[in-house]
Amino acid sequence: MPSVTGKKIFLTGGAGFIGSSMTAALVSRSADVIVYDNLSSGKLEFLKPFMKKKNFKFIKGDLLDRRHLSKVLKSNDIDLVIHMAANPDVALGTKRTDLDLNQGTIATYNIVDEARKNDIGSIMFSSSSVVYGIPRIRPTPEDYGPLLPISLYGASKLASEGLITAYSHLYGIDHYIYRFANVVGVNLTHGVILDFVNKLKKNRRELEVLGNGKQRKSYIDVVDCVNAMLHIYSKSRASGNLYNLATEGQTSASDIANMVIAKVSPAARIRYTGGSQGWPGDIANTYLSNKKMLDAGVKLSFKKSIDAVRNGINVCPNAPA
Ligand SMILES: NC(=O)c1ccc[n+]([C@@H]2O[C@H](COP(=O)([O-])OP(=O)(O)OC[C@H]3O[C@@H](n4cnc5c(N)ncnc54)[C@H](O)[C@@H]3O)[C@@H](O)[C@H]2O)c1
């Protein structure tokens, strides 16, 4: 596969936390970028730096509005879809049980079916470590199975992967499925770091940590994440691609709590709510193998989980400089 330079790219969710870094990476590589986003969790201000660029266009639209999506794709000769739009909140999907079905599975169906109809050659997808469920093997490699997710968000990511590989097989669409670790870094709008910062801003003496604090996970910096996606796209010669994207090691919730306390309110004490999970559907121990990604030549600016997290805290909105 050649690089993204000169390619016409349809980026769903490009106004979001990770999508805005993808937008920046594509614009700087001289791709022709159309961001399609309903702004449900994304922010237009993230796209401000690109609004006047000739190779950038923003379209406010919803992937569930099939007629609008179809019209936009028909009038643009797209080479590659980068599909990043989804509900970002795993816990919320447990309360609203059709949220991930609609914003994940149906939205993915709509975009791959439109890719088929419009002869779009390639699709990239932002999947997640949650598809592994509670794995017996850690670090968990891409060929681990069976895949048994424990959240509705995870179920919808796995269903989306299945839709993409089936469409790819049946209609000859190249696919790049990336299973992200927890992503941190610039333009963060959700997740554990921001939760801790916001809680400490409200109560400077005590930080409530969900669970027992021993939950530990893989992390990756957002810029490293999008660079890895584009590196693999430019180097791979395969029509089907599946990669974990992660740094080395894990970081625990209590490590993150202590680092955020040191930065935001050093006198605060931690109060754990107890139990091994942060919330129902939370995977308490994720550790993605990043061997395949490194073997493909991906270079990370933050190689270790703890370094990505530390930087994530330093650039977190609302945290003191
Ligand atoms: N943040 C993480 O740690 C992480 C980890 C694994 C996977 N992912 C995946 O990466 C992708 C991006 O996540 P993020 O953290 O940037 O979340 P985000 O909420 O910041 O971005 C999602 C974007 O999609 C848009 N969107 C949602 N539903 C839409 C719809 N129906 N039509 C059009 N636009 C819609 C939102 O407005 C938002 O801009 C998601 O697919 C997410 O599941 C994220």
Return the pLDDT at 307: 98
Nearest of 314, 189, 221 to residue 263 by alpha carbon = 314
Return the pLDDT at 60: 98
Return the pLDDT at 320: 84
The pair of structure tokens assigned to 315 is 């650039």
How many A from CA of 258 to the centre of ligand 1?
A: 28
Provide the H-helix boundaries in 16-59.
17-28
How many A from CA of 73 to the centre of ligand 1?
A: 20
Burial class (CB in 10 A: 0-12, 13-18, 19+), 246: buried
Contact 39, 16 (CB under 8 A): no
The residue type at 95: K
Q: Concatenate the DSSP letters of all residues of 218-269 into one string.
A: -EEEHHHHHHHHHHHHHH---SEEEEEE--BS-EEHHHHHHHHHHHH-TT-E
Q: What's the number of CA atoms in the CB half-sphere (13 Å) around residue 62?
A: 8
Q: Whose CA is nearest to atom 6 of ligand 1?
A: 128
How many A from CA of 139 to the centre of ligand 1?
A: 25
Provide the H-helix boundaries in the chain.
17-28, 66-74, 92-95, 99-100, 107-117, 152-171, 192-202, 222-235, 253-264, 291-295, 305-314
Return the pLDDT at 319: 84
Q: Is the pTM of this model over 0.95?
A: yes
How many A from CA of 250 to the centre of ligand 1?
A: 23
Ligand 1 atom with minimal separation from the 182 CA: 3
How many A from CA of 15 to the centre of ligand 1?
A: 9
pLDDT tens digits in sequence order for the chain, 321 residues long:
569 999 999 999 999 999 999 999 999 999 999 999 999 999 999 999 999 999 999 999 999 999 999 999 999 999 999 999 999 999 999 999 999 999 999 999 999 999 999 999 999 999 999 999 999 999 999 999 999 999 999 999 999 999 999 999 999 999 999 999 999 999 999 999 999 999 999 999 999 999 999 999 999 999 999 999 999 999 999 999 999 999 999 999 999 999 999 999 999 999 999 999 998 999 999 999 999 999 999 999 999 999 999 999 999 988 887
Q: What is the rounded CA–CA span in Å between residue 289 and residue 305?
A: 12
Q: What is the dihedral of CA 153, 149, 196, 269, to 10 degrees?
A: 150
Within 6 A (CB) of ligand 1 lie 12-13, 15-19, 37-42, 62-64, 84-86, 88, 103, 107, 126, 128, 180, 182-183, 189, 191
Ligand 1 atom with minimal separation from the 40 CA: 37
Residue 272 pairs in a beta bridge with: 209
Ligand 1 atom with minimal separation from the 183 CA: 3
List the domains of the chain with CATH numbers: 8-183+219-245 (3.40.50.720), 185-218+248-286+301-314 (3.90.25.10)
How many A from CA of 191 to the centre of ligand 1?
A: 12
Q: Whose CA is nearest to atom 2 of ligand 1?
A: 183
